[in-house]
Amino acid sequence: MVGMVRNVMLTIAYDGTDFHGWQVQPNLRTVQGVVEQAVRRVARLQVEIIGSGRTDAGVHAAGQVANFFTQSVIPADNLRRAIGSRLPKDVSILAARDVSPDFDARRKALSKMYRYRIHASIHRPVEHLTQRQAYHYWHPIDVERMRCGARHFIGEMDFQSMASKGSPKESYVRTVLRCEVERFDDEIRVSIEGRGFLYNQVRNMVGTLIEVGRGHWEPGRIAEILGSLDRAEAGPTAPARGLSLRWVRYPSQFLIPSDDDEPTLGASADKYA
């Protein structure tokens, strides 16, 4: 059935291990590719999915956000079920809802939060069945040192020293709203919220924090690295498997209220997750 053009927002979770990242690439399995294929089968039209950002190969998501335009009159929650039933087992549509016509998952984001998981133990993470989602680092790590170092990342500044090749050259200035380090038994979690990130910025920040945590550098060294604007001064890029996009935050004005709003998607919510 065909009606007026609607803008539909999807909240998507996926295990990125067996994907070549989010963005469609010829002859490669990508998250955007499999989701677009499923949406097209349901909508019976060519549909382009707009994602909030491009996660790299091996990176996961618990709250990726995307949107697409369609003339389908199928209710949003029925779309969620129909699209989800046509997806592989390593992708899930957590929510679908109508949003205003000017909503754009990439351009309208206020901030997004990534979390990096480090399995800090001599034993492999397979004992916790997290080997696909956590980076195994078997040397001792001082979490308090990492916390002290993490404070230097907060604020608006030039992050050129944390940018890998492939980042845009027009500006390396980005804003990090918070950078927190917590330990849960054998697992260290680094949570970083920002208004936008350079290519591999989060993984380079984590790799640098690990160097601080292992005692290779003092926490204050991070301020010097940032001031150098030199990628070679920073730590290594942490492996992709430990990284997950947890949520993306948008202004609530884009929501179209519905009778069955979920708490995390209510008209007053700023976070779509």
Buried b (16+ CB within 10 A) or exposed e, 20-56: bbbebeeeeebbbbbbbebbbebbeeebebbbbbebb
Domain membership flag for residue 269: no
State the total domains in the chain. Answer: 2
Q: Kindly state whether residues 33 and 79 are assigned to the same domain.
A: yes
pLDDT value at 246 more than 60: yes
Tell me if residue 270 is catalytic.
no
pTM of the model: 0.91
Instruction: Tell me which residue range forms the domain holding 93.
Output: 2-108
Query: pLDDT digit string (tens) for 217-229?
Result: 999 999 999 999 9
Domain membership flag for residue 260: no
Q: Kindly state whether residues 60 and 176 are assigned to the same domain.
A: no
Task: For residues 165-180, give the mean pLDDT.
Answer: 87
Q: What pLDDT is attached to residue 257?
A: 65
Q: Kindly state whether residues 165 and 238 are assigned to the same domain.
A: yes
Q: What pLDDT is attached to residue 253?
A: 85
Q: What pLDDT is attached to residue 206?
A: 98
Q: Kindly state whether residues 99 and 18 are assigned to the same domain.
A: yes
Q: Kindly state whether residues 169 and 63 are assigned to the same domain.
A: no
Q: What pLDDT is attached to residue 264?
A: 38
**Residues 88, 211: Cα–Cα separation, whole Å:** 38
pLDDT value at 273 more than 50: no
Domain membership flag for residue 270: no
Catalytic residue among 18, 56, 104, 158: 56
pLDDT value at 269 more than 60: no
Query: pLDDT digit string (tens) for 142-171?
Result: 999 999 999 999 999 999 999 987 766 689
Domain membership flag for residue 49: yes
**Residues 80, 55: Cα–Cα separation, whole Å:** 22
Query: pLDDT digit string (tens) for 111-142?
Result: 999 999 999 999 998 988 889 999 999 999 99
Q: What pLDDT is attached to residue 127?
A: 84
Query: pLDDT digit string (tens) for 187-213?
Result: 999 999 999 999 999 999 999 999 999
Q: Kindly state whether residues 142 and 66 are assigned to the same domain.
A: no
Q: What pLDDT is attached to residue 258?
A: 60
Q: Kindly state whether residues 54 and 127 are assigned to the same domain.
A: no
- CATH number, domain containing residue 22: 3.30.70.580
Of 165 and 29, the one with more pLDDT: 29
Domain membership flag for residue 251: no
Q: What pLDDT is attached to residue 267?
A: 29
Q: Kindly state whether residues 85 and 137 are assigned to the same domain.
A: no
Q: Kindly state whether residues 171 and 205 are assigned to the same domain.
A: yes
Domain membership flag for residue 183: yes
Domain membership flag for residue 178: yes
